């Protein structure tokens, strides 16, 4: 990755990012030189199994944890050099969080409207009437404007999650980070949440990053980045735009990230290393960790068992 970073194009820049967790007896290498670029206004997903490093990456982008080495820029700000006293403003104005556990998102004794207005107390969004109008606008965008006076216990799981998204957007963040936002809702609510993310991007220009282990989510976004063993292993790029898919016969119906709607690309790191998808490695039936690498007559690189 070029060290002259394009901050006008990319809101998130991860360059050989490393995170090491240390205890008295053990060291855990959570990220191992991860490279990632996220464009302004993009709606994208980061996918991976438990322990892949995706939650570690989310926490560092959100300012909840610091990298051990490498470079991490968000909105042109170097998070490795950010002072502790500047973190509260960064968390208030630059990023918004949607947690999987709704109890972490919503204050139970406040109404939906009051919950959305709460973060505005720490920003410069006009007077109380401006705050209330903005909160209602966000709840309407979440298709939950008719539940503004309801509290946590009076809302369904899907309604709680949509209120949580509205709360995360209260202070006009440049970046919305969603941790498994559809993990505990049904298919219909998942579709509503994904539609809201696209609407947020189109209306406010907000960049939306969804962290999930659900491969089905990756067919709902333009781009999904797979993380394995602390590195980006591949990217799934949508072949058609949302508008093109909406106008087609099949739409998003049955095409997953490995089907017809997306194409998978392996990701090369700076040293030219690439992670081969696990299912392809299994087909090689290797006895050890050695493979043959050659180029055929069509100038294609071929990886085969010895």
**In this structure, what token pair is assigned to residue 53?**
């490093």
What does pTM read for this prediction? 0.83
What sign results for the dihedral spanned by CA atoms 91, 98, 120, 7?
Answer: positive
Give domain limits for the chain: 282-306
pLDDT tens digit string along 3-27? 678 999 999 999 999 999 888 788 8
pLDDT tens digit string along 236-288? 887 755 445 544 433 333 344 444 577 777 777 777 778 787 777 788 887 77
Here the contacts of 191-194 (C-beta below 8 Å, separation 24 or greater) are: 192/143, 192/158, 192/162, 193/158, 193/161, 193/162, 193/165, 194/220, 194/221
pLDDT tens digit string along 213-237? 887 787 789 899 999 888 888 888 8
pLDDT of 56 reads 92
**In this structure, what token pair is assigned to residue 232?**
């980006």
pLDDT of 150 reads 94
pLDDT of 255 reads 42
pLDDT tens digit string along 114-137? 999 999 887 777 778 788 999 999
- Distance CA(180)–CA(211), nearest Å, equals 6
Angle ∠(242,185,197) on CA atoms, nearest 5: 35
Complete DSSP assignment for 126-155: -SHHHHHHHHHHHHHHTT-GGGTT-BGGGS
Residue 148 reports pLDDT greater than 80: yes
pLDDT of 258 reads 46
């Amino acid at each position: 990755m070029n060290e002259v970073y394009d901050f006008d194009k990319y809101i998130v820049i991860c360059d050989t990012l490393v995170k090491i967790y240390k205890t008295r007896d053990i060291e855990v290498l959570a990220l191992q030189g991860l490279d990632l670029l996220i464009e302004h206004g993009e709606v994208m997903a980061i996918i991976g199994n438990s322990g892949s490093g995706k939650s570690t990456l989310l926490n560092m982008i959100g300012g909840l944890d610091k990298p051990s080495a490498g470079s991490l820029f968000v909105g042109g700000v170097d998070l490795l050099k950010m002072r502790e006293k500047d973190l509260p403003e960064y968390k208030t104005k630059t990023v918004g969080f949607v947690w999987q556990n709704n109890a972490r998102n919503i204050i139970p004794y406040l109404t939906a409207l009051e919950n959305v207005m709460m973060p505005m107390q720490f920003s410069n969004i006009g007077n109380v009437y401006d705050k209330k109008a903005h909160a209602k606008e966000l709840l309407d965008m979440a298709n939950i404007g008719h539940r503004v006076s309801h509290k946590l216990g009076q809302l369904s799981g899907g309604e709680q999650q949509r209120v949580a998204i509205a709360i995360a957007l209260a202070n006009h963040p440049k970046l919305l980070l969603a941790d498994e936002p559809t993990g505990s809702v049904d298919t219909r609510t998942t579709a509503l949440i994904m539609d809201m993310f696209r609407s947020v991007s189109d209306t406010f220009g907000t960049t939306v990053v969804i962290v999930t282990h659900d491969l089905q989510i990756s067919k709902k976004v333009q781009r999904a980045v797979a993380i394995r063993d602390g590195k980006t292993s591949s990217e799934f790029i949508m072949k058609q735009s949302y508008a093109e898919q909406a106008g087609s016969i099949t739409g998003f119906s049955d095409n997953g990230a490995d089907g017809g709607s997306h194409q998978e690309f392996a990701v090369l790191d700076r040293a030219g290393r690439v992670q081969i998808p696990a299912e392809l490695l299994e087909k090689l039936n290797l006895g050890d960790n050695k493979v043959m690498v050659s180029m055929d007559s069509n100038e294609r690189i071929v990886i085969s068992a010895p």
